[in-house]
A = this chain, B = another copy of it.
Amino acid sequence: MNGSGTAPAAPTPPRPAYRRLGVEERRTQLIAAALVLFAHRPPEEVSLDDVAAAAQVSRPLVYRYFPGGKPQLYEAALRSAADDLELCFAEPPTGPLSGRLAAALDRYLAFVDEHDAGFSALLRGGSVAETSRTGAIVDGVRRAAAVQVLTHLGVPEPGPRLRMTVRTWITAVEAASLIWLDEGKQPPVTELRDWLVEHFVALLTVTAAGDEQTARVTRAALALEPADGPVGRLARRVTPVVAEAGHLL
């Protein structure tokens, strides 16, 4: 179990030079190898032997770094993926909101694409690798994304309606990403990204209809959108859909 001290007399060491890595370097390398495996298979189908083979080290060496075995390694890999994901929404706070959201979503959706099977297994629930700690890591990513979006809206102190709007949209992005994976990554990722931006603009606008803070933020955001940008194109495509509903105005 805890192979501290006893050096295993392995007959053929996989790579004679592997001891040259420092502790942190080795740890990082093992996590990276694990993440690649966990990205493309459900955690049930990844063994510590797989990780050792992928990193070209022995199984005891993996245990030396992760004495808790697979659960500990899974959690470390998830933590590392979460750190990457949290960077997705860190976009310079300049230019129209739609462009910033699109850039953030491009990074997020590229992550989903690269970690497809692992992303599905983690978020669908019921995975054996799921614990309250992995749940907390996932929630941390959602919270960080919400803070980033609110920063882009220029609202350090959001009221409850705006907060609920942003948090609900973030979950909708996650759900749409899972559906997108289910549907064999259709529609093309740029269409999905545009639709998610449009979803946000629409949700912000209807929330603005009933909340003064959201109304201020929405007016300011719309004022910065160029006519030839995604929101302008959306506005002109929505017009014919609602044209016959003049009786509602």
Stretch at the interface among A2-10, A20-28, A169-177: A169-177
The residue from B127, B171, B183, B210 contacting A172, defined by CB atoms under 8 A apart: B171
Known interface pairs A160-B183, A248-B235; A195-B207 also in contact (CB < 8 Å)? yes
Chain B residues near A249: list those with CB within 8 A.
Answer: 232, 235-236, 239
The residue from B174, B195, B205 contacting A238, defined by CB atoms under 8 A apart: B205
Which of chain A's residues 158-183 have a Cβ closer than 8 Å to chain B?
160-161, 164, 167-169, 171-172, 174-176, 179-180, 183
The residue from B130, B160, B248 contacting A126, defined by CB atoms under 8 A apart: B130
Q: Are B179 and A241 in contact (CB under 8 A)?
A: no
Please give me the residue from chain B that is nearest to A136 by CB atom.
B126
Chain B residues near A167: list those with CB within 8 A.
Answer: 175, 179
Closest beta carbon of chain B to A195's beta carbon, Å: 7
| A202 at the binding interface (Cβ < 8 Å) | yes
* Range of interface residues on A (Cβ < 8 Å): 35 or more
| A53 at the binding interface (Cβ < 8 Å) | no
Interface string of A194-218 (1 = CB under 8 A from B): 1100110111011111100001001
Chain B residues near A207: list those with CB within 8 A.
Answer: 195, 198
The residue from B135, B206, B222 contacting A124, defined by CB atoms under 8 A apart: B135
| A36 at the binding interface (Cβ < 8 Å) | no
The oligomer's copy count stands at 2
Q: Are B205 and A203 in contact (CB under 8 A)?
A: no
Closest beta carbon of chain B to A84's beta carbon, Å: 20
Please give me the residue from chain B that is nearest to A124 by CB atom.
B135
Question: Can you give 20 contacting A-B residue pairs, CB < 8 Å?
Answer: A125-B130, A126-B132, A126-B134, A127-B132, A160-B186, A161-B195, A164-B176, A164-B179, A168-B199, A175-B175, A194-B210, A198-B209, A198-B210, A199-B203, A208-B241, A209-B234, A219-B245, A225-B245, A225-B248, A227-B248
When A and B form their complex, which 10 residue pairs have the shortest distance between CB atoms, in order from nearest? A126-B135, A171-B175, A209-B237, A202-B202, A222-B245, A126-B132, A235-B248, A232-B248, A198-B206, A202-B206
